[in-house]
Chain A
Amino acid sequence: MPSRTSPPSCTLLSVGQAFVGTQNVDHSGAMKEERWTVHVRIQGCDLRHGTLCGSMEALNVPAAESSVVTFWEGEIIDNINHTFFTEDWANPDTDLKHWSRFPSFAPLREAVNRDGGKGIDLARHSHVYMRWKEKFFVNVGPDCGLTIAGFYYLCFSRVDGTIRGFYYDPNSSPYQQLELRATTEGRNGHSFGCYEFR
């Protein structure tokens, strides 16, 4: 059972929800910024284990010939299953540097720096923090011009369903930024499909 600090469920972060937005690379010092369209759909969400997963489609990426679909698995920072500190893919310094780029993280920063932020009441926080790690390419081979070696630090706003994220891969351009918003997919309102594992 989730304890007091576990983030409560949010209907905009549930299975079937689609997000649209962009990812951009800011080649600092270079002449131009690259930007492409991103579609995301959440396909699984398990708050008890603090995990979620889904697909991510990158359209008109400069380096790729066609759109690229990947499958990702995510961790929700809930201080039960996952903390702000990344287990295998990054060190605490990198973690703190990335989380700190989200304005909503500012009030949490000191506590996280001190003791990992285990005492923070995330249930009352306006945002949900996550990590998404792409696992495999769905529609193209691994030589498609994109890499999935890194992972995203993300911050989801409960209030308006927007997501901001930063891609971290020591071998890629730093601070590739992801900006997404929950979409109604052209409908006259928010529709909710549902499934459950048996």
Chain B
Amino acid sequence: MPASARSRPEDIVENLSSGDTSARLKALRDVKNQIIGNRSKKLCYIKLGAVPRVAEILASDTETNLLVQSAAAVGSFACGIDSGVRAVLDSGCLPHLLNTLSNGDERVVEAGARSLRMIFQTQLAPQGATFFRSGGALENILRLLASANDDISEVAASVLARCCDFPEQRAAIAQAGALQGLLHLLTHPNPRKVETALDAIASLTRNDEQQSRALLNAPGNPFLTVIIPTVKERSGKSRLLACACVANISRTCPEYGTERTTGPPGSARDVAAAVISALVKLVDCPGEAGEEAPSVLAHFIADSEDLQKLACDADAIGKLSGKLAAGSGVLTPRHRENIFHALAALCSTREEGRRQLVESRALLPVISGLEDAAPGVRAAACACTKSLSRSVKNLRTSLVDASIAEPLFKLLGDPDPSVQATASATLCNIVLDFSPLRSQVVLDGGGVAQLASLAHSMDATLRLNAVWALKNLLFMADSATKARVMREVGYPTLAALAQDPEDGVQEQALMLVRNLVHGKPEDIEAAVRPETGLLEVVDRKLASGARPEVCVQALYVMVNVATGTEEHKERVMATCTPSVLGRFLADESNPQIRVAAVWVLINLTYSKGGNVRSRIERLRRLGLDAQLHKLLSDPCSDVQDRAKTALEQFHEALQPLPQPSVQMVSAHIC
């Protein structure tokens, strides 16, 4: 064995920076030969600082052999080991590697292209932000995309695929004319080049209406003639990427119309069915295609109940839960996350989807996913639980045995904010009246305190979810539960939430008040006694012209308060509500507001005795009975019917008690 082969790695690394060209070349060759396929050698040389020295050669040398060897060594470091990719990226050699692609010598170009492909195949590939900073990089890449050398254009495409994270980047790439070059590459006979081009096109169009539309309307119809047929042919990866392109267009270009329930053969509807069928089949595909197929499926169907139905009919739920049941331990975290997201989308709106999921064997893996080590998996399992819990039946049955409340409450304190957000949203459903889980964990455990403290969160989403959950918790709740919740929340906090900067939080807080005063007179009294200040806050909403959604809820608070004692009815009379009620009765834009306003009048005039005559007198002076008359021909039948009831009560209460005259009543109404 020659003496040099026994050189110590330290010496070889030292020689990488030697002043002697041949010594540098020899050291490069030694490093490259030793690390190929050898993980521990790679780690050893990374530790010794070899990568920056190799990068330096790539940056400053001009000799062909040195460039070829240094480019190859960089690729070797980046192959198959994350810390290698990181070391290469940290060395800052990327722009120099890109420069090799413009070298006059074919061997340099080839070595550079191979290494770049290695780097850009990994998840660690530089996000566009850092990459775009190097001046002229984009122009360089686009020039290479048009290269006559297929290897080079392929590398350029795979680099572009990793630079599409932000709208500005996509816009810049598109503006520079990348789509044209990528579409051209699609027609290449080599399937791997087609795949790379599809990858870049899918990245460029994801969540981007402008780029999706550009693809849909590209001259020569490559979308119809190349991408759509690819859905059914070629390798798993290509099929997946073609499906992703269709999904992107379907999500952002409504005119494409995959959601139309009928259509001629070959229409968007047919394509949607083909895409779904391809994606469901891909679920069983080994490798990346199988791993990513559920994610593309979730993206495709997320906004469309119709597509969700198509996917359920294609047995997507059975396929996906089969994967999970086969042992979630054998799936990568990313794979589990994708499957949970797909299942969450499949049963987000359709009870039939939920039924299928419960009947499949997926419930247990979903529950254990709530405690997964990976935050992405926890959030996805949570999203899945949320979809499942949007069902009264499931809350009463299948979810009860599954002991989901405890892990969910634990997730409220998760270090990952997106997990917290999904967990708090899921709890909104779990705490409902008909869910036996409510008393089990929420009231016995510290759940109420946790939700109450979350209502103070600086994060508006968490605050919204917390108030929403507390509102649902109080739906049909008994007096003890209401008292318990208000001990934790506090009236000042509730009053503050009703005046939150976020309209959504305000609306939820008012619904919470509405549920508090839905019950016995004692419940009403507890909430509207002057010390709480609640009735004033609600009244101000109505007087100040808050948003319609907020006003509807404020009106229902008044409706419910007016079901209490005579005194409670008088308390409503003493607010500004009666004087602004006319405005709501006349609100032609919103039947919900009109109905709620009529219900206030019905309840204020409901009782026979007490002050009812005086109240009616006061309401009449405000002209409200005349307004009720107008509502008898309201376009909304609910408004009409309730107005009729209200007027009947106005008249009944004024009849001399011994002999109510039916004729007189009708005469007044008509």
Contact = CB atoms under 8 A, between A and B. Distances in A.
Nearest to A46: B351
B465 A8 contact: no
B562 A189 contact: yes
A188 B468 contact: no
B393 A71 contact: yes
A188 B393 contact: no
Contacts of A158: 637-638, 641
Nearest to A44: B392
B481 interface: no
Contact of A8 (B433, B565, B603, B636): B636
A195 B472 contact: yes
A192 interface: yes
A53 B392 contact: yes
A193 B514 contact: yes
B386 A198 contact: yes
B163 interface: no
Contacts of B323: none
B632 to A, nearest CB: 12
A43 interface: yes
B396 to A, nearest CB: 6
B351 A51 contact: yes
Interface stretch (A9-17, A84-92, A97-105, A170-178): A9-17
A187 B521 CA distance: 8
Contacts of B472: 195-196, 198
Contacts of B70: none
Contacts of A194: 471, 475, 511, 514-515, 556
Nearest to B473: A195
B641 A197 contact: no
A134 interface: no
A73 B393 contact: yes
A191 B429 contact: no
A163 to B, nearest CB: 15
Given A49-B351, A187-B563, A16 B603 contact: no
Contacts of B363: none
A190 B428 contact: no
Given A53-B392, A159-B644, A198-B426, A192 B559 contact: yes
Contacts of A192: 514, 518, 556, 559-560, 599
Interface string B541-581: 00000000000000010011011110001000000000000
Interface string B623-642: 00000000000001110011
B390 interface: yes
A135 interface: yes
A188 B603 CA distance: 7
B428 to A, nearest CB: 4
Given A51-B351, A71-B396, A158-B638, A189 B563 contact: yes
A11 B637 contact: no
B606 A189 contact: yes
B432 interface: yes
B241 interface: no
B449 to A, nearest CB: 20
A10 B472 CA distance: 21
Contacts of A123: 637
B432 A195 contact: yes
A11 B638 contact: yes
Interface string A31-60: 000000000000110000101010100000
A184 interface: yes
B638 A195 contact: no
Contacts of A44: 392
Interface centre among A135, A158, A188 (most CB of B within 10 A): A188
A13 to B, nearest CB: 9
Given A43-B392, A198-B425, A198-B465, A189 B475 contact: no
Nearest to B350: A49
B169 interface: no
- In this complex, the interface size class of chain A, counting residues with CB under 8 Å from chain B, is 35 or more
Contacts of B562: 188-189
Contact of A11 (B569, B606, B642): B642
A194 B554 CA distance: 13
Contacts of A55: 434
A124 interface: yes
Contacts of A126: 637
A8 B640 CA distance: 12
Interface residues of B, number: 49
Contacts of B432: 195
A197 B638 contact: no
Nearest to B644: A159
Given A16-B476, A53-B393, A195-B432, A190 B563 contact: yes
Contact of B559 (A15, A49, A136, A191): A191
B607 interface: yes
Contacts of A51: 351
A192 to B, nearest CB: 6
Interface in A136-171: 136, 138, 158-159
Q: Which of B471, B519, B602, B637 has most chain A Cβ within 10 Å?
A: B637
Contact of A191 (B518, B595, B636): B518
Nearest to B434: A43
Which of B433, B563, B564 has its CB near the most chain A CB atoms (within 10 A)? B563
B565 A188 contact: yes
Interface string A62-83: 0000000001010000000000
A144 to B, nearest CB: 18
B518 A189 contact: no
Nearest to B474: A193
Most B C-beta atoms less than 10 A away, residue of A15, A126, A158, A197: A197
Nearest to A157: B641
Contacts of A135: 393
Interface string B489-532: 00000000000000000000001001101110000000000000
B603 A193 contact: no
Contacts of B599: 11, 190, 192
Contacts of A190: 559, 563, 599, 602-603, 606
B419 to A, nearest CB: 15
Interface in B77-136: none
B528 to A, nearest CB: 14
Contacts of A196: 428, 468, 472
Given A158-B641, A194-B514, A198-B465, A188 B606 contact: yes
Chain B CB within 10 A, most for which of A126, A136, A195: A195
A80 B515 CA distance: 32
Contacts of B468: 196, 198
A191 B638 contact: no
Contacts of B607: 188-189
A79 to B, nearest CB: 16
Nearest to B605: A189
A162 B250 CA distance: 46
A25 B602 CA distance: 36
28 contacts: A8-B638, A10-B637, A11-B642, A16-B476, A43-B433, A51-B351, A159-B644, A189-B559, A189-B602, A189-B606, A189-B607, A190-B599, A190-B602, A192-B518, A192-B560, A192-B599, A193-B514, A194-B475, A194-B511, A195-B471, A195-B472, A195-B515, A197-B389, A198-B425, A198-B426, A198-B428, A198-B465, A198-B468
Given A193-B476, A196-B428, 20 more contacts: A43-B392, A49-B351, A73-B393, A124-B637, A135-B393, A188-B565, A188-B603, A188-B607, A189-B606, A189-B607, A191-B560, A192-B514, A192-B559, A192-B560, A192-B599, A193-B514, A194-B475, A195-B472, A198-B386, A198-B425
* Closest 4 pairs (CB-CB, A-B): A189-B603, A198-B428, A189-B563, A195-B475
Interface of A: 8-11, 15-16, 43-44, 49, 51, 53, 55, 71, 73, 123-124, 126, 135-136, 138, 158-159, 184, 187-198
